[in-house]
Structure 1
Amino acid sequence: MNWTDSTSRVSANSAQANKNRLLTIDKIFIIGNQRTKERIILRELNIKEGYAYNTEELNEALILDRRKLMNTQLFLDVKLSLIQLNENVADIIVRVSERWYTIPSPFFKLADRNFNVWLSNQNRDWSRVEYGLKFYKYNFRGLNEQVYFFFQLGFTRQLAMRYRIPYIDKAQKNGLEFGFSFSETANINFTTEGHRLLFTDSLKDASQSKIGLVGWRYRPNFYRNHYVELRYNDVKIKDTIRSLNPEYFLNEGNRQQYFALSYSFENDHRDFVGYPLKGYRWEAEVSKLGLGIFDEVNLFRLRAEAAKYLPLGKEFYYAGIGRGYLSSLKKQPYANLTGLGFSRRWIRGYELDAIEGQAFLMQQNTFSKKIFAREFDVSQVLPIEQFNNIPLAIYLKAYFDHGYLWNDIDYIRNKPLANRYLYGYGIGVDIVSFYDFVLRLEHSWKHDGSSGIFFHFNSAF
């Protein structure tokens, strides 16, 4: 991943002197795509063969097309070069460096909401470790298809598979997705107290879950995605969990099954999805849990968020995001209740707190300064093309997050952080490398003056 746009432009002097002169693109040549089909690359390009562009339009199109190709996450690097054949005709050369698409890898992770919860709330309990084998086949058949196989042991035993076909039509706008999973969890939280999830001490095989899904994706242009998903959930719990919390499923049984239908829309104009520095993104999702087939869940959810990323000059950057969530305002099963502290949505500084409720609003701000950026050539010690050059960038940052969560459910005990204004702030460092690797080290303060050091392995938003 490069930190600057790598494109060849029409010379600035020529562009200034002949701003309105048209340049016709004769041919587009693609180099380096040993696996990726040309039509998948051409699908992302605004520049087309046989079309004429003035120099200003062409320079902007070269930059934007490179960013779009990088954001497919198919390539480690992309370079677009302009080869001028004569005064009015040019060719485009697209040179790509493909990622390592077949990745069978062992993994080791923690069962808790984040690393900090395991470190503090669970006292570094090694029985809460999950391990197994992930097998990713990216860019399957060179058509940007994805095959995902997951085998996991430890705290949760799981078998899962997912298959994504980005395009099933000639116009390359419609795609499909299929998946299933089966899992057994050694222990599950049966309630929340003092914003801590409580678990039983001796229960084994506390829950069993089956999930099946089918999805349809419609991508009418480069930046917009529509996604519709139909999902089936079937969860069984031990009688012990039901006796400890009768509101777990809000029924007299120990099983919950339902169909869920959701629609989401995303408009994404970020420069790089792994760690954006410029652009914007917004998305919204509406979902209905329970379609009347099983009379066990009847829950409506609405979620929306919008983010903006701004370069401020001299290697300073601003990133901000606003998020909102609204669900059915009546009593909800504890098993389906969410809020701040789940799915990577929390006010920084409150990583240890599970703040559940029916609705929330939050906003986050980060100001950062790039202090280091370099590529390291390790081809002598690691002679694998996809790892020959390792980029590394380091950012110092300061941040301020704030929000409010509403909760009027009576069975949630000790909820001092609900129904009040919350804020957190701090300083930290982000370390960014390729394959979308991000390490965040943060020292955060909460509204009550307490503080802590937190570690994360992805971008904040």
Structure 2
Amino acid sequence: MTSKHLYVFLLVLVGLSATAQDIFVSKITITGNTKTKEHVIRREILIQEDSTYTSTRLKDLIAQSENRVLNLNLFNTVNITRDTISDRDFVTLEIAVVEKWYIWPIPFVEFSDRNFNVWGGLDFDPARTNYGLYVFNYNLFGRNHTLKTKMKTGYHTKLGVEYRIPFLSSKTQWGLNTLIEYAAQNEVWYQTRNDSLQFFTNGKNNLIKTLKSKVEFSKRINPFSRIYIGASYENGQLDTSVPTSDYFSNSTGYQNTFGISLGQAYDTRDNIFYPIAGKFLSLRATAEGWKNIDWTPNLEISTKIQYFKKLRPKISTALAVFGTLKSNPTPPYSRRQVLGYNQIVRGFEYYVIDGTWGYTGNAAIRYQLVHKPKLKINLVPFENYKVLPLNIYAEAYVDVGQAGYKTNDPSNQLNGEFLYAGGLGLNVLLYNDRLLRLEYSLNSLQEGGFFVHFKKAI
């Protein structure tokens, strides 16, 4: 080897060594958390003090840690900055957060139907609205506990209390979620015909009454995985004037439902409210028993898989699959809801498909039109909300789905049919967790329409 070749080799070796040079994180400090306990934030940080990382790895972990702290939904902004100490290989990290308000007494008026467009199809009937008060207490004791109280009347009556504890203490990985809720309606969705819900009302109050309770324990296995185990109870009472024979099991007007569930979730999404990158996988099995004059068992298994990838600085893709299966071939009507309720195929918002099995698939490509992570709103008098993170995305999407039930009413033509639709949308994301979706869809029935939604599709 000539001296010239040796010189070039040494230059390359030195360059590679510098590129791979380790950085020692000596200290992590947190500022801005006037109420939130430090351990709540530190639990989400993927970087450890007195630890060494490559420059590239440290950059990735900082970005992931910022997203994880934001996903707590306790802060409007989260910024992690590096400060070099004398030597470029030694750094400290500062985590600066801006806390949200944690007590929200919210008077509200809302539509009761499954989505905004269904309510519009009923002429925006004001009689089909609810009004009342939600009181949300977030971050109780500075430990990210949540207490939700619901007091609602109007088309529906609902009184409920929910308490969530992500971690029972600073040293344990176990959490707890409890719920108790009473609901009553003066109108009943009592059957499905022509792939649409049929309503019954006769002027009487409380045609159906429901009492629900739930206790669920969870355990974080690692920073991205949790397991869940829970028990639930539900009591339903149907007025004798409602003309249905299979709303509850055994053709009765009441039903007690007991359930035990086991689930696991894996989540690396950058923003749980509107993901751009990451994965989400969940699997849940629920063993139920429907009890009135007899005992009827059922096992339901459901799964959801989502994949998000950033292709370019402004271009990303989203893919999702959902599936559910019930073991009981003839569940009562109240337990047959599959598509058109919590799960939809876009373009079929006006329809419902009941069944013992069903699935959906979604694919979308998104282009970021606006990215203003620190938009200043000086007119806002509250310091915590003067900075508005604003993102707007254009989206093209395709949805598919199918659901079925073997003793289907002949008027329901979509039972067992393969459904598909495509469309274009505009998604507006405010404060990282408030979403408005404006979409135009064309479905496989050659029906087109404009739709409005307030939660993410994928």
Q: For the superposition of Structure 1 and Structure 2, which TM-score range results when normalised by the shorter chain?
A: over 0.9
8 Å Cα contact 1:264/1:284 also seen in 2: yes
Question: What displacement does 1:17 show?
Answer: 5.9
Question: What displacement does 1:334 show?
Answer: 0.6
Structure 2: distance between partners of 1:15 and 1:90: 21
- Residue 318 of structure 1 is matched in structure 2 by 317
Structure 2: distance between partners of 1:15 and 1:111: 64
- Residue 7 of structure 2 is matched in structure 1 by none
- Residue 50 of structure 1 is matched in structure 2 by 50
Question: What displacement does 1:59 show?
Answer: 1.7
Structure 1: distance between partners of 2:296 and 2:328: 14
Q: Which runs of 5+ in 2 are unaligned?
A: 1-13
- Residue 329 of structure 2 is matched in structure 1 by 330
Question: What displacement does 1:301 show?
Answer: 0.8
For residues 41-60 of structure 1, the C-alpha deviation after alignment (integer angstroms, 9 at most, x for no partner) is 11111211122223222222
8 Å Cα contact 1:357/1:409 also seen in 2: no
For residues 247-275 of structure 1, the C-alpha deviation after alignment (integer angstroms, 9 at most, x for no partner) is 11132431111211112211111111111
Question: What displacement does 1:142 show?
Answer: 0.6
2:202 alignment partner, SS class: coil
Identity %: 26
Question: What displacement does 1:312 show?
Answer: 2.1
- Residue 69 of structure 1 is matched in structure 2 by 69
1:118 pairs with 2:113: no
Structure 2: distance between partners of 1:250 and 1:139: 41
Structure 1: distance between partners of 2:293 and 2:48: 51
1:211 alignment partner, SS class: strand
Give the letter for the 2:273 counterpart: G
For residues 12-42 of structure 1, the C-alpha deviation after alignment (integer angstroms, 9 at most, x for no partner) is xx99762343332222110000111011111
Structure 1: distance between partners of 2:143 and 2:269: 23
Structure 2: distance between partners of 1:392 and 1:98: 17
Give the letter for the 2:196 counterpart: R
For residues 192-229 of structure 1, the C-alpha deviation after alignment (integer angstroms, 9 at most, x for no partner) is 10011111242431111111111101112221121212
Q: Following superposition of structure 1 onto structure 2, how do residues 212-291 of structure 1 map, counting pairs within 5 Å?
A: 212-241=213-242, 244-290=243-289
1:240 alignment partner, SS class: coil
Change (3 A) 1:20 1:311: closer
Change (3 A) 1:335 1:27: same
For residues 48-104 of structure 1, the C-alpha deviation after alignment (integer angstroms, 9 at most, x for no partner) is 112222322222221111111111111111111111113242211111111111111
Structure 2: distance between partners of 1:53 and 1:444: 47
Give the letter for the 2:285 counterpart: V
Give the letter for the 2:329 counterpart: K
- Which protein is bigger by CA-based radius of gyration? 2
- Residue 427 of structure 2 is matched in structure 1 by 430
Question: What displacement does 1:239 show?
Answer: 0.4
- Residue 371 of structure 1 is matched in structure 2 by 369
- Residue 352 of structure 1 is matched in structure 2 by 350
- Residue 399 of structure 1 is matched in structure 2 by 397
- Residue 304 of structure 1 is matched in structure 2 by 303
- Residue 412 of structure 2 is matched in structure 1 by 415
- Residue 95 of structure 1 is matched in structure 2 by 96
Change (3 A) 1:143 1:25: same
8 Å Cα contact 2:166/2:175 also seen in 1: yes
- Residue 208 of structure 2 is matched in structure 1 by 207
Structure 2: distance between partners of 1:250 and 1:285: 23
8 Å Cα contact 1:368/1:395 also seen in 2: yes
Q: Following superposition of structure 1 onto structure 2, how do residues 127-166 of structure 1 map, counting pairs within 5 Å?
A: 127-166=127-166
Give the letter for the 2:303 counterpart: A
1:326 alignment partner, SS class: strand
Q: Following superposition of structure 1 onto structure 2, how do residues 174-185 of structure 1 map, counting pairs within 5 Å?
A: 174-185=174-185
- Residue 385 of structure 1 is matched in structure 2 by 383
If the length of structure 1 is used for normalisation, what is the TM-score? 0.92
Give the letter for the 1:139 counterpart: N
8 Å Cα contact 1:391/1:433 also seen in 2: yes
If the length of structure 2 is used for normalisation, what is the TM-score? 0.92
Structure 2: distance between partners of 1:325 and 1:259: 19
Aligned length: 442
1:460 pairs with 2:435: no
8 Å Cα contact 1:257/1:296 also seen in 2: no
